[in-house]
Amino acid sequence: MPETAFHHTSHRVDIAAPAGVVYGLVADAVRWPLFLTPTVHVEALDLEGADQRLRIWALACDDVTSWVTRRTLDPAARRIDFRQEVPGPSEPGVTGSWVVEELPEGSSRLTLRSALPASATRTTPASWLERAEHDDLLALLADLKHLAERWATLDEHIVAVEETLRVDGPAELAYDFLYRIENWPAQLPRLTRLDLVEETPGIQQVRMDLLADDGRTHTARGVRVCFPHGGRIVYKLVEPPASTVAQAGEWSVEPDASGVTLRGRHQAVLRCPDGPSDTTPDTETRTESGTAPDTDPRTASGGGAGPEVGRALGRDSAVVLGLARRYAQSAVRVITPKP
């Protein structure tokens, strides 16, 4: 059988942070949507032991694509090998590795190596790396560098909010309201405009105008991934309001024996002070014939904005949940028999 040609890439960046911190950020893939610009959502399919299986949704050239990745974690070597699964056993997927090296004076070097089959087409998840712009991968490393160099105070710039509400009505109707986001502007005073694109059922891209407390209008852009059978909608604002550098969350509808619980979970990363100066990641690319390699918040301080952002997230979440409850309960008709 002829050998498969692979397109090999290598990206690296030096980071003024301990190697263990950098490795931890790469290993904690479930939190990538909050921290890494291209990543929309990561669903853990299997996290047992060193071998993991994840489904990842990400933006590539403004398109939302998803794939399943198998990862092998080696904390001692600070190495993570990955392999993307693609439809059909005869189709090779992207393989590669994250490697963190310890450098002098407590700094480290992060290297991302990958191998993409040169024959991959745009119709397979394996083509994501080929279609993604060169700057997307550099932005990924830049995000990790930015976060790692602020690791000591990172938690101080994360705001988390959770709101719950009980509903005496059908779970399906409550979910229907949360799903039909195009109807929200007529009911949410702070949401003055919303454009929705849903080319693939359950994958929604939205652009909306939000009215702030000071009267100014902010435009935000987001991606939502909907799981109707699980009663969940996860989202990420890829272009959040000015007070934050990232925002992600989840709406869920949870039925039980006595009714339904609506839940909204939201996290935001505040803008934080600049840390050590950035450097441009180094990149090397090459295409060769052979098998795949063996793969066994940026400018202004946002500290004082935390309570304000938290209040806004909680308030908006409570309003949406209240409207979902009213929508579900108003559809229930109780017929009282005549005496």
Whether the pLDDT of residue 7 is over 90: the answer is no
- Using CB atoms within 10 Å of the CB of residue 9, give its burial: 0 to 12 exposed, 13 to 18 middle, 19+ buried: buried
CB count, 10 Å around CB of 107?
A: 18
**Is the model more confident about 123 or about 322?**
322
Encode pLDDT of 210-243 as tens digits.
887 778 888 999 999 999 999 999 999 988 877 7
Mean pLDDT across 175-189: 94
Which residue from 79, 83, 80, 58 is spatially nearest to 70, judged by alpha carbons? 83
State the distance between the two ends of the chain, measured CA to CA, in whole angstroms: 83
Q: Please report the pLDDT score of residue 213 as a whole number.
A: 75
Residue-wise pLDDT tens digits, 28-67 = 999 999 988 889 999 999 877 789 999 999 987 778 988 8
Q: What is the mean pLDDT of the chain?
A: 82
Buried b (16+ CB within 10 A) or exposed e, 172-211: ebbbbbbbebeebeeebebbeebeeeeeeeebbbbebebe
* Predicted local confidence at residue 123, as pLDDT: 45
pLDDT of residue 202: 96
The predicted model scores a pTM of 0.82
Task: Tell which phi-psi region holds residue 40, choosing left (phi > 0), alpha (psi between -120 and 50) or beta.
Answer: alpha
Mean pLDDT of 182-192: 91
pLDDT in tens, 273-330: 554 444 556 655 443 433 333 333 333 334 456 788 899 899 999 999 999 999 999 8
pLDDT band at residue 270, thresholds of 50, 70 and 90? confident
* Residue 289 confidence (pLDDT): 35
The confidence band for 91, taking pLDDT boundaries of 50, 70 and 90, is: low
Q: What is the pLDDT of residue 286?
A: 42
For residues 68 and 125, give the distance between their C-alpha atoms in angstroms, rounded to a whole number.
9
pLDDT of 80 over the 90 cut: yes
- Return the pLDDT at 121: 43
Mean pLDDT of 14-22: 96
- Closest by Cα among 272, 270, 273 to 309: 270
Strand ranges (E), the chain: 5-15, 39-46, 51-60, 63-74, 79-85, 95-102, 108-117, 158-167, 191-200, 203-211, 217-227, 232-239, 244-256, 259-270, 282-289
